[in-house]
Amino acid sequence: MISNNAINLSESPLYSFFNEVKKREANGERIINLGVGLPYHDTPLDVKEAGIKAVKEGKTKYTPASGVFELKKAIAEKFKKEGLNYDTAEIVISSGAKPLLAAAEWAVIDPGDKVIISSPYYPPFVEVAKQMGAEVVLADGLACSSPDKGMAGGVLGDFGITTPNPPWQGGKALKLLIFNSPNNPIGKVYNKEELEEIAKFAKDNDLWVISDECYSDFVYGGNYLSIASLPDMKERTIVIRSFSKSYAMTGWRVGYAAGSVDVIKKISMYLDNFIGCASSISQYAALAALKDDGFTEKMRGELDENRKILIEWLDKKGIEYVYPEGAFYVFVKYANLRELDPSDEHGARSESMRIGSVAFAMELLERGIAVTPGVAFGDYDDYIRISYSVGKKKLEEALGKISKLS
């Protein structure tokens, strides 16, 4: 018999759509992929050459499960430039961010603990917590991303965390808060005032915080600020980052986490027992990536141009969306992407004409455009996620096709 854990693990539309697109492409279909969460750029040549060099030099054996020392040291230097001081003993490396997310949740929560997760969310946040036996409390982050509302109610008020009867009260204690900034899928970047509010809540309630910062190199306007840099937050925060997005290394599978010595030791033990080490070759390639010669900055500039093209197109169409401050996605309320109901003087579609986000994404896929249904990120069936991480000409072609939807 299959276990209840296996039965209860949900397949996310995020991954099922990715697999469907790959299958169609393998069968010769031409698809403009605005759904995938990866840079359209190729891995830098010097990074590739570092990987090849590692192979030629015989660096093809197991490494410590927590990663090679040289890479940890280079990561510590990268953090230091951002005002975050981590020793190599406070850093752990794994095969991408996902194993580290699982290890971090395993290290700090027990069955029955309550976990607050900002929503819309990256699907593994929720699935891992459920598998650990935690009770998930979703905090709606769309409200605090409204350009009209701003900080009127404070980010926690918008989340519903500080309401008179918050959903996390009662039962076992609240233990952990998980959020990502920039947010996938909405592109929200938490500013200092918002992070200070979250930090105060975490300290007042003695919470652990997992800060997913995999898109920290993609902030458009201003510098990135980690919650771990705030007073008294380093010891209770587990920062998770990845080489995948920042250096176009999605297939190389290298991620890293930083936190207190005690929690990093436990995360390393998890990796020892359940995962093993990241590829030795990929780790030495990642070491070369950290000697960044401007690749990430150039990539960010090109993505920002695409972001502006997409925002201008959405504004001209009068389509509602969450304004993206970072990452490379726009979360779009898609109703107005289809032809407006001519019988409605306000341009709204009748309820009988509405379809769910999965069906709408399939409609676009049949026209050669891939997007991600909003339900992949929570209860957001009125939305789709559009990635602007494609070549400029492809993006403009895709928007032209969407404009012709009937």
pLDDT in tens, the chain (406 residues): 889 888 888 777 777 778 888 888 888 889 999 998 889 999 999 999 999 999 999 999 999 999 999 999 999 999 999 999 999 999 999 999 999 999 999 999 999 999 999 999 999 999 999 999 999 998 887 655 444 433 333 455 555 455 545 655 655 688 999 999 999 999 999 999 999 999 999 999 999 999 999 999 999 988 999 999 999 999 999 999 999 999 999 999 999 999 999 999 999 999 999 999 999 999 999 999 999 779 999 999 999 999 999 999 999 998 989 999 999 999 999 876 655 333 444 444 444 345 789 889 988 999 999 999 999 999 999 999 999 999 999 999 999 988 876 4
- Which residue has 């960010």 as its token pair? 300
Q: Which of 258, 289, 320 is the last residue of a domain?
A: 289
Question: What is the number of domains present in the chain?
Answer: 2
User: Does 332 share its domain with 391?
Assistant: yes
Q: What is the CATH number of the domain that holds 13?
A: 3.90.1150.10
- Secondary structure of 348-378 in the HEC alphabet? CCCHHHCCCHHHHHHHHHHCCEECEEHHHHC
Q: Which of 239, 271, 289 is the last residue of a domain?
A: 289
DSSP 259-277: --HHHHHHHHHHIIIII-P
Whole-angstrom Cα distance, residue 40 to residue 351?
37
Q: What angle do CA 44, 48, 51 make, to 5 degrees?
A: 145
Q: Which region holds residue 67: left if phi is over 0, alpha if psi is between -120 and 50, else beta? A: left
Q: What is the CATH number of the domain that holds 92?
A: 3.40.640.10
Question: Positive or negative, the Cα torsion across 88, 227, 179, 191?
Answer: negative
User: Does 302 share its domain with 194?
Assistant: no
User: Does 135 share its domain with 213?
Assistant: yes
CA atoms within 13 A on the CB side of 144: 26
What residues make up the domain containing 394? 4-43+295-403
Whole-angstrom Cα distance, residue 18 to residue 231?
40
User: Does 56 share its domain with 167?
Assistant: yes
Provide the β-strand partners of residue 186.
Answer: none
Q: Which of 289, 318, 346 is the last residue of a domain?
A: 289
Q: Quick one: how far is CA 219 from the chain centroid?
A: 13
